[in-house]
Structure 1
């Protein structure tokens, strides 16, 4: 019996191997994280170009520590909190 392993990003932004799959997905180029069933991410994956830049996180705290922001589509409450702290783009 072989044990499956997954590659996740840690709080330092570096990949590591895990026996458990990630609970959140992210887009490396946009530094955005969200749910694995996010409609926006699923559309991007279906279009094809997103896959090479997809990353996974164990939890929300790790994604935030790695410098990623919440997705406005699938995590609107977390996005609003993030936006209130960071302010509008300059």
Structure 2
């Protein structure tokens, strides 16, 4: 997919915000730690990066749950298999 720069940056910021929220709410990280984790998970990729935005193929909820609970979180913690209503309200 080709991203217009403004669209990419807006989506990147939204995913960072959602990831940080999950890491703080469900992972017990402080606001600063959750923001740092979001920046690490969602680094800015230049427009000529070959797979720019590939991380967007799954939503922030999924990536955060993987970071918190590991592989197969959906089987070990079925209550987190779907994003919470609270998370959905943020988007």
Q: TM-score, normalised by structure 2?
A: 0.26
Whose strand proportion is higher, 1 or 2? 1
Whose helix proportion is higher, 1 or 2? 2
